[in-house]
Structure 1
Amino acid sequence: MRVTVVLFTADLRLRDNPVLAAALRAAEHVVPLFVIDSGIAGAGFVTPARAVFLADCLADLDEGLRARGGRLIVRAGDVVRETCRVAAETNATEVHLASGASGYAQRREERLRSALTADGRSLCVHDAVTTAVAPGVLVPSSGNSGKDHYAVFTPYHRRWSAERLRPVSPAPRRVELPPVRSLPLPGPRDLARGPAPAGLPKGGESEGRRRLAAWLRSGLAGYAAAHDDLAADATSRLSSYLHFGCLSPVEVISRARRWATEDEPHAGAEAFVRQLAWRDFHHQVLAAVPGAAHRDYRTRHDRWRTDPDELAAWRAGMTGYPVVDAAMRQLAHEGWMHNRARMLVASFLTKTLYHDWREGAGHFEGLLVDADVADNRLNWQWVAGTGNDTRPHRVLNPLVQARRFDPRGDYVRRWVPELAALPGAAVHTPWRLDGPARAALRYPAPVVDLTEGLARFRRARGLD
């Protein structure tokens, strides 16, 4: 009997998984393998929030495999060594793997290919599994700077929108395993120590598909008009399920596009799919420039400020700017933050306070369930002006943003309870209250004057 191994990474699903489908076509027996990777765990990327979500994902994947006659095989340690051990124990001829954009994923692929080849086995890497369009498929013409990737989103989006996606494939009916040993399924404490945010969603493909169906049914139509409304919470909240691969981006896009035709465009579907194009855009940038996870994509020669008290106030949601603090408290409670709020708090840290974008990206990665390296790091660079933004020096004023995207103050009142009694938009400027009323709030004064912060940033960038 021929045997293949499927190494699950960021593709924790059965439906529309080209890795699993190819492995099943190639052999009678397939080993669905997940390695608790000491390389990732040792780097601190498996945080308490992601550990809880990941444990749900693995349990759901195992349940789906068992319903089809199989189960999830779990090992722990160095991912290359453990994968080669499983391949040797089962006499597998091939290992199947989804491609990844990060430097770590690229090195993992190279190491695995080298080790398997030395053992007389082969590695089969599959694209368009964790993204809709694989990095490297779309590149500028030779007359357009000759780069190996798009550095600006708009031309990339034009090409991306015209690209024909692969067909969506169903889940397998049957998965047959050879005899192979497995560790027990890990719980959250087996993956990471420490308290997780209290408001985490349930992980896994089953929950992701339930949420996708509900979103397409009741949320997509209003997305174009309401996606920036902080209080409305009118985004899909599917990012964590896409990050762990519980949902296929190809399937999500295909199902969203069914709402639109050439004769009858659907504004909600178009706006939503555009966000998934942004996700692919960042992955193709990181795949081409892996160092952008840690270094400026486009340096502005910043001399970032260091102020531990300011940084601590930002992290704790105690900056004195209510909309910023509301967003940071949402992050701490839910392991998630509204996309508009992410841009706002990132601009406040990097441009109003003028702190290094890596400080913010690292804090997000400690709490976000969906902290994908490409999306998180390159979005932070986009806001900081060191990345792909064509207007690198724009500054988002938190008061203007609050009036525009939380005009009644409902988002702030939800997350900053000490201001809940303030009426209407007054919640955004509590420091304007008279002395006794201001003191009774027990809410901090602003850590910086916005005019002062803007002037300081402009001087630092040499814009004045």
Structure 2
Amino acid sequence: MSDVAVALFTSDLRVHDNPMLRAALREAERVVPLFVVDSGIARTGFPAPNRAAFLADCLADLDASLRDRGGRLVVARGDVVAETCRVAEATGAATVHLAAGVSGYATRRERRLRAALAEAGRGLTVHEASLTAVPPGALTPGGRGKDRFVVFTPYFRRWDVESLRAVRGAPRVVRIPDVRSAPLPTPGELAPGEASPALPRGGENEARRRLRAWERGPLDRYAERHDAPGAEDGTSRLSPYLHFGCVSPVELVSRARKRGGDGAEAFVRQLAWRDFYHQMLAARPNSSWEDFRYRRRTGWRDDPAGVAAWRDGRTGFPIIDAAMRQLRHEGWMHNRARLLVASFLTKTLDVDWRVGARYFLDLLVDGDLANNQLNWQWAAGTGTDTRPNRVLNPLTQALRHDRGGPFVRRWVPELAALRGSAVHRPWRVPERLDYPAPIVQPPD
């Protein structure tokens, strides 16, 4: 056993079931739990007020959990490679432990860190990505040159029978060497601007509280309720915590399978979708901003007025406007609603999917490149949808998934007085409403 190791936290901000942290504690007598407020991330334009506020919560929570075990979170600011090497040298650490990422930025960071540590005579141990249940490169289809699945169903067949690693608990003790730390970052330091007013609280302890509440009943009804955006507790609301690594996807899959039932099976399938997109991004990092498949028709329209109406929730299509207003208020949007607003922007307004994906990343607290970008590409017909010309009719979808209009009534109060399905067809109502006319011809 060596004397000191560094456990570099990135998107695995938890103490339960954290293979990277456990490996560092197993290897060394003392461990530096390190988080670097990375100036390189800031230059990418990825930080946003909602994720910054959530991240600040996560780091404070992680620090508290480590202190409960005799340690603390060590914070540094600057270039992640330079700061990690500085901390390793100051503490005499022989090895740095890191969980693998799937984005282009994460792989470049890993290469730079490995080279810099090797030059100083130190090692880098990279552990399987902690953001997925099955590691991104573990499943590949047969055939020469096929490095990833591009269709979900065959991927899921393999994924569903794959053995998962055992779920591990949190360490009892974390001993750290004498090392200086910067203060925990504030949301304003991480990203300027105001967060959404109803943003959820971040951190592992909040994630585990929500997980326990989810398992006490809503999980069992997930199969029948997860497509209804107006259904209370219809979804787990755990996506922000998965994005920041506050909860382990391996643990979620294991606990759901142990519980069993239609709801648990449907929930596990959604977790498999997350893994599917992560393995795609790992194999082709440029798909975060480039079409995964070329479009089969001419280019996108330039429609500033349409985009502005879409962003503001003033399109005249109630289900679309309700979803966009929820996004602004909560920093989160129901998954079915995400598909609807993405289809509306790309297929109805014919606007480039990158415009919508960028706006989502500005507001979504759970926004990551794999799930956000590749779901947008699915909706736009440039991604993995086997029916690239599929259009999700906003009226049909609203009548099917928001029966009676509870979702629309909550987020579009101008229409709250309308009864029944009329809330989804305000253009048919003869009386004057304080609500815009549809920006394009509505379906009927």
Q: Corresponding residue for 2:380?
A: 384
Matched, 1:74 2:75: yes
Aligned counterparts, 1:29-428, within 5 A? 29-142=30-143, 146-233=145-232, 234-260=234-260, 266-300=261-295, 302-428=298-424
Provide the C-alpha distance between the structure 1 equivalents of 2:400 and 2:11, rounded to a whole number of angstroms. 36
Deviates more, 1:182-191 or 1:246-255: 182-191
Cα shift at 1:222? 0.3
Alpha-carbon contact 1:37-1:79 (below 8 Å) kept: yes
Provide the C-alpha distance between the structure 1 equivalents of 2:229 and 2:70, rounded to a whole number of angstroms. 45
Provide the C-alpha distance between the structure 1 equivalents of 2:160 and 2:23, rounded to a whole number of angstroms. 26
Cα shift at 1:44? 2.1
The alpha-carbon distance between structure 1 residues 451 and 210, as it changes in their structure 2 partners (threshold 3 A), is closer
Matched, 1:442 2:438: no
Provide the C-alpha distance between the structure 2 equivalents of 1:271 and 1:288, rounded to a whole number of angstroms. 26
Alpha-carbon contact 1:14-1:171 (below 8 Å) kept: yes
- Taking structure 1 as the reference length, the TM-score comes to 0.94
Cα shift at 1:230? 1.6
Alpha-carbon contact 2:316-2:435 (below 8 Å) kept: yes
Provide the C-alpha distance between the structure 2 equivalents of 1:218 and 1:54, rounded to a whole number of angstroms. 29
Amino acid in the other structure paired with 1:413: R
Provide the C-alpha distance between the structure 2 equivalents of 1:87 and 1:12, rounded to a whole number of angstroms. 20
Amino acid in the other structure paired with 1:293: S
Alpha-carbon contact 1:352-1:450 (below 8 Å) kept: no
Cα shift at 1:153? 0.4
Cα shift at 1:128? 4.3
Provide the C-alpha distance between the structure 1 equivalents of 2:98 and 2:132, rounded to a whole number of angstroms. 14
Cα shift at 1:141? 1.1
Aligned counterparts, 1:7-18, within 5 A? 7-18=8-19
Provide the C-alpha distance between the structure 2 equivalents of 1:443 and 1:85, rounded to a whole number of angstroms. 58
Secondary structure in 1 matching 2:259: coil
Secondary structure in 1 matching 2:337: helix
Q: Which sections of structure 1, spanning at least 5 residues, go unmatched?
A: 261-265, 453-464
Alpha-carbon contact 1:34-1:75 (below 8 Å) kept: yes
Provide the C-alpha distance between the structure 1 equivalents of 2:408 and 2:249, rounded to a whole number of angstroms. 32
Amino acid in the other structure paired with 1:352: T
Provide the C-alpha distance between the structure 2 equivalents of 1:318 and 1:451, rounded to a whole number of angstroms. 17
Q: Corresponding residue for 1:459?
A: none
1:378-416 CA-to-partner distances (Å, cap 9, x unmatched) read 000011010011111100000000100012011100000
Cα shift at 1:348? 0.1
Amino acid in the other structure paired with 1:210: R
- Name segments (4+ residues, structure 1) moved above 6 Å: none
Secondary structure in 2 matching 1:30: strand
**Count of matched residue pairs:** 441
Provide the C-alpha distance between the structure 2 equivalents of 1:199 and 1:128, rounded to a whole number of angstroms. 30
Cα shift at 1:252? 0.6
Alpha-carbon contact 2:101-2:129 (below 8 Å) kept: no
1:244-298 CA-to-partner distances (Å, cap 9, x unmatched) read 00000000110111112xxxxx111110000000000000000000000010000
Cα shift at 1:187? 1.4
Provide the C-alpha distance between the structure 1 equivalents of 2:220 and 2:411, rounded to a whole number of angstroms. 27
Correspondent of 2:426 among 430, 437, 455: 430
Cα shift at 1:450? 4.2
Secondary structure in 1 matching 2:365: coil
Provide the C-alpha distance between the structure 1 equivalents of 2:366 and 2:100, rounded to a whole number of angstroms. 18
Provide the C-alpha distance between the structure 2 equivalents of 1:215 and 1:82, rounded to a whole number of angstroms. 39
Secondary structure in 2 matching 1:346: helix
Provide the C-alpha distance between the structure 2 equivalents of 1:252 and 1:451, rounded to a whole number of angstroms. 40
